[in-house]
Structure 1
C-alpha cells in the first residue's frame, strides 16, 4: 500500500473512531423477573376471582354459601349432601385472577406465570382412592380436561398430595399428606404455558418454613387452546372406596399471582 492510500485509510478509521466517541455503551439485556400482577385480599370477597362455582347444580341451597371469606381467608365448605351437575361428584370452586370488576388476567401460550398462597387442609379433608382436586389448571369452558391437577390421592393406603399433568398422567411430585393436615402449607406453583413439549411446571410445598417438596418437569404440554386458567376449591368424586369422604373444608390465604417478564 502506498503512503497516500495508507494516510487516507488511517484518516477514515480515525474519523470513524472519533464518531463513536461519546455514544452510549451497549446495555446488557435485562434479566427477566417476576412481576406482581395479582394480590387480592379477603376483604375483596369473591370479587378476587373470575367466576364462582358454588353449588352450580342447586343441590344443597341450605348449605350456601359454600364459598365465602372468613377473616383473612377464603373458605370452601363441602357437605356430603352436595352434588355437582354430574351427580357422581362434588364441586365448589373459584376460577381465574380478577384484577377489577371488568378485567382479569389471561395466561396464554409462551407466557410464564407463578402462583403463591397458603392452604389449610384439615384432617377432615382426606385423600381418596378416586379423584380429589384442590387446584386445577384448565382451559376455560365446559367439556375440556384439566391440564394440571393438585390432588389428594390415596396410594397403597397412604394419604398423599400430588401434582400431575392430567392428559399424559405424568407425575410431577408426590408427598405424604398426613404431616400437612391441620396446619398451614405454603404453595409455590410455576407454569410456562406451551404446546407439545414447550411447557414446564414447578411445584413447591413448604411447611413451618421447611421445604416439603420441590419438583419440576420440562418439555411437557401445558396448553390445550385459548388460554390457561387456575381453579381452587374442592372437586371430588363420590367413588372413593376407602371411607374417606365426610363433611370438610379448605382454607386459602395470601394469594398472589406473578408473571415472568
Structure 2
C-alpha cells in the first residue's frame, strides 16, 4: 500500500528570510514567492523539464521506473537496472517545468527554495559509494554536481548528508534510521553564486521534530549556464556493504519559491 502524506510544510516559509542562513533582507523588501507547485495526480511527469528513466533501456520489463502514483511521484530501482555508464544506476527527473514550453532557470544572484516530502523505505539503504536522492547540476552531459543529498555509510552507520562537491564541503549529516519507512519534510535553500558568493541551508523534519538544520555561507554554488535540480535515485554499483536492493523513493508536495 502506498503511504499517504499529511503536509507539514508551508508555515515555515512565513517571515523566514532572516532565519535561513542566507543574507538577511527586510521583510518589506523581499519575500518568498511561489513559482512552482505541481501535482503528481494532475501534472504527472509534465512537472519536470526532463525524465531520465532507464536511459540505456536496460530493463524494459520494469518500465516505467518513474511514474505518478496518486499524489506521489514514484522512482523505482531494480538491482538489474543499469545506466548508460554500466557501473551505476539512474532513475531521475530534472528541472521545474511551469508549462509545456517553459521551465524555471536558477541564475547567479538569485535565491531559491525547495520544499517537499520524501518517503524512504528501509529497502533504500545508505551505501559505501554514492547514492544520491537529490542533486543540483549545470545542465548538460558530464557536468559535475553542485549540491548532492546522499545516503552514505559512515563507519558502518547509515546516514543522510548534504555536500557541496565543488569545494568538498560537508554541509551536514545525520542518521538515516529515523527517516526510514516514514515521511520526511525537506526544506532546501540556495543562493546561486560563484566563488564565495553562494549560500545553502538544509533542513529535515519528521513528525514535527527537526532532525537537522545546517547552513553554509561563502560557498560556491555555480558552475556555468544555470543551476538545475534533480530528484530520484542515482547510485553506484560499487557498494561493499551488501546494501543494494530493489527499492523505491516517493516524493510529494513539491514546491519552488524564489526570494524576490
TM-score (norm. length: structure 2): 0.89
How big is the shift at 1:31? 2.3
Q: Which runs of 5+ in 2 are unaligned?
A: 1-25
What does 1:110-121 align with in structure 2 at a 5 Å threshold? 110-121=109-120
* Deviation per residue, 1:206-260 (Å, 9 max, x gap): 0001111000000000000000000000000000000000100000000000000
What does 1:24-39 align with in structure 2 at a 5 Å threshold? 30-39=28-37
User: Between Structure 1 and Structure 2, which shows a larger proportion of helix residues?
Assistant: 1
* Deviation per residue, 1:2-42 (Å, 9 max, x gap): xxxxxxxxxxxxxxxxxxxxxxxxxx993210000000001
Quote the residue 2:208 is aligned against.
209
Quote the residue 2:10 is aligned against.
none
* Deviation per residue, 1:111-145 (Å, 9 max, x gap): 00000000000000000000000000000001111
Quote the residue 2:181 is aligned against.
182
CA distance in 1 between counterparts of 2:111 and 2:56 reads 34
For residue 61 of structure 2, give the secondary structure of its aligned residue in structure 1: helix
What does 1:128-143 align with in structure 2 at a 5 Å threshold? 128-143=127-142
Quote the residue 1:6 is aligned against.
none
CA distance in 1 between counterparts of 2:123 and 2:90 reads 16
What does 1:78-227 align with in structure 2 at a 5 Å threshold? 78-227=77-226
For residue 145 of structure 2, give the secondary structure of its aligned residue in structure 1: coil
Number of aligned residues: 234
CA distance in 1 between counterparts of 2:211 and 2:198 reads 24
Quote the residue 2:14 is aligned against.
none
CA distance in 2 between counterparts of 1:49 and 1:105 reads 10
CA distance in 2 between counterparts of 1:151 and 1:251 reads 15
For residue 147 of structure 1, give the secondary structure of its aligned residue in structure 2: strand
CA distance in 2 between counterparts of 1:75 and 1:39 reads 17
CA distance in 1 between counterparts of 2:224 and 2:189 reads 19
Quote the residue 2:49 is aligned against.
50
Quote the residue 2:13 is aligned against.
none
Q: Residue 230 in 1 paired to residue 229 in 2?
A: yes
Quote the residue 2:22 is aligned against.
none
* Deviation per residue, 1:85-124 (Å, 9 max, x gap): 0000000000000000000000000000000000000000
Residues 57 and 29 (structure 1), Cα distance of their counterparts in 2 relative to 1, 3 Å cut: closer
Quote the residue 2:59 is aligned against.
60
For residue 250 of structure 1, give the secondary structure of its aligned residue in structure 2: strand
